[in-house]
Amino acid sequence: MFYNVDLDSRLMLGTAQYPSPEVLRAAIAASGAGVITVSLRREGREGADFRAILAESGARILPNTAGCHTVREAVTTAQMAREVFGTAWIKLEVIGHADTLQPDPFALVEAARILSADGFEVFPYTTEDLIVGERLIEAGCRVLMPWGAPIGSGQGLRNRAGLASMRAHFPDVPLVVDAGIGTPSQAMAAMEMGFDAVLLNTAVAMARDPVAMARAFGQAVAAGRIACQAGLMPQREMAVASTPVFGMAELV
């Protein structure tokens, strides 16, 4: 549950870089995504088509502050997005490093505090740093979105130990793995670890067949969630026979 909203799907899908509006429309439908993320940009002639795709998807819209590098940029973009899309939800990005697109933790917390006080329901894009997570919660965030790896890298869960520690440290906070997911198996792994959702874009948009890939990610996220709830078997140092020795035939 994210800000008291239950979602039918735990896949969050981005809308950038698709080869055509038709492919985007089909990919959203195939994925079954519960949330669609969108950036605030100037609209050209294709703007009406894009808005129609969003409206017919039935998914929850999560505007983002992608491309913002300062608190002022992020806050202003969020305020405009609220007016345009009619939602208090905002995925907050405040980028601090040009190469890795790692968030600036200090600016991120400050922007989160300002937006939360202004009535926004903030989804902060952060790292797996526990202290930053604590500060974001104190700033008013009720969701955290740690990266799996740098945006668009496809490296997957680069710091599994750190992500596992974050899951254990914030047992009651919805956590979404955001960025760096490149394959359905990586998305499934995040869900098996107990994360509440996965957000991705490039892995679907840039696939040879985005529609098929979107369907694969939707199924992987669902399967990972079921597996987590079912209870994964623990890893063992030694082999343990699954077939009992008792009752075997005695050879003489």
9-26 tens-digit pLDDT: 999 999 999 999 999 999
**68-124 pLDDT, tens digit each:** 999 999 999 999 999 989 999 999 999 998 888 899 999 999 999 999 999 999 999
The residue from 10, 60, 82, 91 that is catalytic is: 91
The pLDDT tens digits of the residues spanning 58-81 come to: 889 999 999 999 999 999 999 999
Residue 159 known to bind ligand: no
Say what the pLDDT of residue 235 is. Answer: 86
Q: Is the pTM of this model over 0.75?
A: yes
> CA–CA separation, 124 vs 93, rounded Å?
6
pLDDT digits (tens, 9 = 90+) for 168-202: 999 999 999 999 999 999 999 999 999 999 999 99
Instruction: Work out the mean pLDDT of the chain and round it to a whole number.
Output: 92
Q: How far apart are CA 92 and CA 74, in angstroms?
A: 7
Burial of 97 (0-12, 13-18, 19+ CB in 10 A): exposed
Query: Is residue 91 annotated as a catalytic residue, yes or no?
Result: yes
Query: What is the rounded distance in angstroms from the CA atom of residue 108 to the CA atom of residue 35?
Result: 22
Q: Dihedrals φ, ψ of 175, to 5°?
A: -120, 130
Q: Which two tokens stand for residue 195?
A: 């994360």
- Residue 194 is labelled as binding a ligand: no
For range 226-240, the mean pLDDT = 91
